[in-house]
């Protein structure tokens, strides 16, 4: 049985073993694959693994040997699942592998806006502390803020949103949740809110919702016009949820205190994306998911998915 991984580098640049996948037969892994090379590279694959490479109906119809597509992530919008079903190709994904990693990164972005660790560490190289007359030094324009003093809205209450809310409650924050789930599903101390209430009343809005056609670019000028002045927005969900120009404009005008994101649209972002030069934009390079433990979980869960498929069972089918 031939396995082909079309874009393996982000998952495993060399620090993890391929052992879980090599037991099924020959494994060919390409660091990256251009769209025009997909069919040629996947032609002999019985099992095809992809992370971000798009598998369209046009591509899938040219792969008659293909039996299983393994999405090496939770989201699978890069695969035409309907076409795969019509062609008799099973599709699996890897759910909930990054819950702890992404929740941790979300809090790291929040803490950067409340404690400014990166800023204060950087200015020490310029003598900021050494030249002070007092034992402690901070800048009045960058006050230190306790999370317990904040109202934080969690938008989307899946695995990651639930974990973020749990940690925020433990830190004493006042937590609002924007979700379609009933209020009885929320933990003690959390309050259900609408999107408008979240943006108008909270100090922080943290996005954890999937990207759909219905919410693409919903953080736009109209919503930001209703937002509380000084709002911090954190996005570890999808870059497509954001109208980049509108958010950049709100940062320049001081209406937003910060925009913290690990995701952009597209990725990597265009060099002229206005967020890259906006003040108080804290941007990391889609790394929230990428702890070694989380990446190992991806390999382990894909191994389980393939085992189940070969045994005629359904595990993590989409």
Residues labelled as active-site residues? 238, 267, 286
Q: How far apart are CA 306 and CA 308, in angstroms?
A: 5
Cα 98 to chain centroid, rounded: 9
| 187, 222, 248 from 225: Cα distances, Å | 30, 5, 13
- Which distant-in-sequence residues (6+ apart) come within 8 Å of 91 by Cβ? 68, 69, 71, 76, 79, 81, 84, 85, 317, 318
3-state secondary structure at position 28: strand
3-state secondary structure at position 241: helix
Nearest one of 203, 178, 173, 208 to 192, comparing CA atoms: 178
Q: How far apart are CA 212 and CA 170, in angstroms?
A: 31
């Amino acid at each position: 049985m031939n396995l082909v991984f079309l874009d393996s580098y982000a998952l495993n640049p060399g620090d993890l073993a391929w052992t879980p996948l090599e037991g099924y037969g020959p494994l060919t892994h390409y660091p990256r694959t251009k769209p025009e090379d997909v069919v040629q590279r996947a032609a002999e694959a019985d099992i095809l693994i992809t992370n971000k490479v798009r598998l369209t109906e046009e591509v899938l119809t040219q792969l008659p040997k293909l039996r299983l597509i393994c999405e090496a992530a939770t989201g699978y919008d890069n695969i035409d699942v309907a076409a795969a079903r019509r062609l008799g190709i099973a599709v699996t994904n890897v759910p909930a592998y990054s819950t702890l990693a992404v929740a941790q990164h979300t809090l790291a972005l929040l803490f950067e806006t409340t404690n400014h660790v990166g800023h204060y560490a950087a200015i020490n190289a310029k003598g900021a502390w050494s030249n002070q007359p007092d034992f402690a030094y901070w800048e009045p324009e960058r006050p230190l803020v306790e999370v317990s003093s904040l109202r934080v809205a969690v938008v989307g209450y899946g695995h990651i949103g639930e974990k973020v809310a749990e940690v925020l409650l433990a830190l004493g924050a006042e937590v609002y949740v924007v979700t379609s789930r009933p209020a009885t599903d929320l933990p003690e101390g959390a309050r259900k809110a609408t999107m408008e209430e979240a943006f108008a009343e909270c100090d922080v809005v943290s996005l954890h919702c999937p990207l759909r056609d219905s919410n693409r670019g919903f953080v736009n000028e109209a919503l930001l016009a209703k937002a509380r002045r000084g709002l911090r927005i954190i996005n570890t969900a999808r870059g497509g949820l954001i109208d980049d120009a509108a958010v950049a404009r709100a940062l320049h005008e001081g209406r937003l205190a910060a925009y913290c994101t690990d995701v952009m649209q597209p990725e990597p972002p265009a060099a002229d994306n206005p967020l890259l030069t906006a003040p108080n934009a804290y941007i990391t390079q889609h790394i929230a998911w990428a702890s070694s433990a989380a990446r190992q979980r991806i390999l382990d869960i894909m191994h389980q998915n393939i085992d189940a498929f070969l045994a005629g069972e359904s595990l993590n089918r989409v």
